[in-house]
Amino acid sequence: MKIAFSTTACPTWTLEEAANKAAEFGYLGVELRSFYDQSVDIASEPFGMEPSAIETIFADAGVKPISFATSIKFDKMINPPVVGRIFQNEEAGVGDTKAYVDLADRTGIQFVRVFGNNLPAAEPKTWSMRRVTERLKLAAQTARNTDVCVLIENAGSFASSNALLELITAVDSTWLGASFNTLASLQSGECPLDGIKLLGEHVKVIKVCDIDNDGNPTKLGEGVLPLENFIGALSKMNYTGWIVYEYPKLWETTGDGLDANEILKRAADTLYSWMNAAPACGCSC
């Protein structure tokens, strides 16, 4: 397993700071949270930077930028359903995905993360599934002739592994994989380890975080989620992909949250200790 962190944990750090801190704390990679319209202020925003600059920053630090984590979704409704197609973009999200795939390809970044996301109750599921599937298929095709893979993350109507697998199977694309969020999986009512097994080789990245009894984010290992057993079970399965630690400091509305240095150093130390412990038990979801 290879560990990385998401820059959601350090929104005031520049790209250089994120890369250097990753190396200092023992991470092998960084997931770059990015906003195409720059509607959210994050100091490490990579979109619009020269690909060579991004590549140099991480090469100098000896750390790999593994993915662009975007907010792109493919669920936007077309209203009215028939006439609306004349005036609205039927391929919502596809152009934005292509922009990120192009940047990732020129930067040597392997993944672009996107969402499904919510199938509205106001229309038949077959309609909304077809819309999301068609758009996601076009989005994945923008990665052809590159080494980039588009990753769909379990969230919204696709939070469970069964729902995500249904979408991935419908798209049926070589250029589409899965980013598996353990918290979203747990909140959907399933055991994340069962979800990982169901999705199989589609899983390229696994996201981990921790929460307290009230659902608030906390330091890794201090919360209530069964993550130590989960990481141990992944070790026994010989999982060799990326584990990305997330802490939502980007979304904090006050400055009272945990320090990014403390959060990320502890997470790295904790993940390595869990990976090396090789517990005999499996994941107790």
Domain ranges of the chain: 2-277
CA 192 to chain CA centroid, Å, is 15
What CATH code is assigned to 2-277? 3.20.20.150
Residue 83 has pLDDT above 80, yes or no: no
User: How far apart, in whole angstroms, are the C-alpha atoms of residue 30 and residue 58?
Assistant: 9
User: How far apart, in whole angstroms, are the C-alpha atoms of residue 66 and residue 108?
Assistant: 9
User: How far apart, in whole angstroms, are the C-alpha atoms of residue 25 and residue 121?
Assistant: 45
pTM score > 0.75 for this model?
yes
Task: Kindly tell me the burial class for residue 284, based on how many C-beta atoms sit within 10 Å of its own C-beta (0-12, 13-18, 19 or more).
Answer: exposed
Residue 36 has pLDDT above 90, yes or no: no
What digits encode the pLDDT tens for the residues 225-244?
999 999 999 999 999 999 99
What digits encode the pLDDT tens for the residues 14-34?
999 999 999 999 999 999 999
SS3 180: strand
b/e for 147-184, b at 16 or more Cβ within 10 A? ebbbbbbbbebbbbbebbbebbeebebebbbbbbbbbb
Residue 280 has pLDDT above 60, yes or no: no
Most confident range (mean pLDDT) of 119-128, 174-183, 234-243 is 174-183
Beta strands (DSSP E) in 71-155 are 111-114, 149-153
As a residue count, the chain comes to 285
User: How far apart, in whole angstroms, are the C-alpha atoms of residue 34 and residue 41?
Assistant: 10
